[in-house]
Amino acid sequence: MPAPGHPAPSPQAAAGAAPPKLARRIGLFDATMLVMGGIVGSGIFINPYVVARQVHTPALILGAWVVGGLIAMLGAFVYAELADRMPEVGGQYAYLRSAYHPALGFLYGWALLLVTETGGMAAVTVTFARYFRELTGAAVSERIIAVLTLAVLTLINCLGVKLGSRVQSALMLLKIAAIGLLAGAGFLLLRAPHPLFHPVLDQKPSFDLLTAFGAAMIPVLFAYGGWQTTNFVAAEIKEPRRNLSRALVIGVAGVVVLYLAVNLVCLRTLGPAGLADTTVPATAVMRSVMGGRGAELIALGITISTLGFLSQSILTAPRVYFAMAEDGLFFRRVAYVNAHTRVPVVAIILQSVWTAVIALSGRYDQILNYVVATDFVFFGLTATCVFVFRRRESAAGREQRRSFRTPGHPFTTAAFVLACWLVVADTIYKYPANSLIGTLILLLGIPVYLLWSHRNKVETAQ
């Protein structure tokens, strides 16, 4: 009889047949593209101006992106060790469940499905629909385009994880090409670049300068987020202990290079003041060096980038809801794996349907405001799992050789946790009402967990 919190019988098992399992069909290259695709959305083409409005010299602007990249790399190190220790479906859900309590893992999955993942996907879906209409001149409403886009990507991912990962890899390569076009145009065609390292500071070192730099770090850290989602599909990666760890480190390092290239070209072309004055810096750069044709090309790049982000989200996040259902903490049907494609089709469809509902409601921007603090709370909590697992391993006297261990632990791990929770503190300070609503959404998951947990106990006792 399985203990509470352990996997409950799937629909296939309940019917007496051996249930099909997820298949390991993602290699190192596709896993690396998943890491990069989870980070690079449309934001890097737009968000540099937000940083330039907080700090006002090239050195400080680039410094914020460098520091953000270092923090992201610390996070990649932490999650690489967690992936080596527990190459299981669900990623963060599995780590929190095993290190602390199934309830904590459930709350993470609850927030992910209800608002965090689906709210972000809804916003990106609408962004894609707007750019698509502008590029094609299609006489179709944004809502229809959004729903059709979700439907096509959902179908692709329901046909198999290998097909889904290949499509995602192709879209990520197109994103890299778009960023390469932006950087190449800015470096090769620009005739009168702005100076990059003069002046270093626009004011004397002070507490105000420190707080301004801290404020600039918030959008930077958001822009670097998303690499952790590849851990959701650990059960479908070939040799996950080796390949997932490598993919995380290689993928995050690659994104740092891409992000720095974008910011360098924005600063060379527009200067700090010009960057702060525009809300579409990538378009401004391309229009400056290539005219209207350049603006159209980068719009196409942004469209592809949003599509790639959606594809990655549809491939990865449903594995969390699948893991919850396998543990008896969600609808059993969500644990269904198609015998032919070997993917959790019900979980994939569930997420896409809810994303469409949010997108059609028009409330996605408001929803995103509610969950910022929640997201980073779980980032920090997940990183602390490394301390828990290492302590248990040491206490049991069974330390093992591992393919990856976090460099500089415990200091680097603690630094990442601190960075995450500083974001939480800053968000609560600046947006107390939104943070309170986000906390209430999270707390609503507690009675839901208790309901599912009780139901699982009753069913496993029968």
In this predicted model, what pLDDT tens digit does every residue of 102-153 receive, in sequence order?
A: 999 999 999 999 989 999 899 899 999 999 998 998 889 999 999 999 999 9
Report whether pLDDT(243) > 90: yes
pTM, to two decimals: 0.91
In this predicted model, what pLDDT tens digit does every residue of 205-233 receive, in sequence order?
A: 888 888 889 888 888 988 898 989 999 99
Q: How confident is the model at residue 264 (pLDDT cuts 50, 70, 90)?
A: very high
Q: What tokens were used for 457?
A: 């106990």
- Angle (CA) 245-246-250 rounded to 5° is 125
The average pLDDT across 78-93 equals 95
Question: Alpha-carbon distance 358 to 119, whole Å?
Answer: 7
In this predicted model, what pLDDT tens digit does every residue of 422-453 receive, in sequence order?
A: 988 888 888 888 889 889 999 999 999 999 99
The pLDDT value given to residue 428: 87
The pLDDT value given to residue 17: 61
Q: How confident is the model at residue 252 (pLDDT cuts 50, 70, 90)?
A: very high
Q: How confident is the model at residue 178 (pLDDT cuts 50, 70, 90)?
A: very high
In this predicted model, what pLDDT tens digit does every residue of 323-367 receive, in sequence order?
A: 999 999 999 999 999 999 999 999 999 999 999 999 999 877 777
Phi, psi dihedral angles at 26 (to 5 degrees):
-105, 120
Q: How confident is the model at residue 2 (pLDDT cuts 50, 70, 90)?
A: very low
- Angle (CA) 22-91-34 rounded to 5° is 75
The pLDDT value given to residue 180: 94
Q: What tokens were used for 423?
A: 């974001």
The pLDDT value given to residue 261: 95
CB 143 within 8 A of CB 360: yes
C-alpha to C-alpha distances, 342 to 158, 163, 335, 339, nearest whole angstrom:
9, 12, 11, 5
Exposure string of 185-206, with b = 16+ CB inside 10 Å and e = fewer, is bbeeeeeeebeeeeeeeeeeee
Beta bridge partners of residue 26, listed in sequence order? 237
Place of tokens 């799937």: 10
The average pLDDT across 286-308 equals 93
Name the residue type at position 134.
Answer: E
Q: What tokens were used for 229?
A: 């989602």
**Residue 78 CB contacts under 8 Å (≥ 6 apart), including other chains:** 382, 383, 386, 406, 412, 413, 416
Mean pLDDT, the chain, rounded, equals: 90
Question: Alpha-carbon distance 70 to 51, whole Å?
Answer: 17
Q: Strand, coil or helix: what is 26?
A: strand
Question: Alpha-carbon distance 151 to 355, whole Å?
Answer: 11
The average pLDDT across 374-386 equals 94
Q: Which of 12-16, 21-25, 311-315 has the highest mean pLDDT?
A: 311-315
Question: Alpha-carbon distance 314 to 153, whole Å?
Answer: 7
DSSP states of 135-158:
HH---S-HHHHHHHHHHHHHHHHH
- The CATH code belonging to domain 24-387+409-453 is 1.20.1740.10
Name the residue type at position 393.
Answer: E
Q: What tokens were used for 347?
A: 């979980």
Name the residue type at position 291.
Answer: G
Q: Where is average pLDDT lowest: 59-68, 416-425, 427-436, 451-460?
A: 427-436
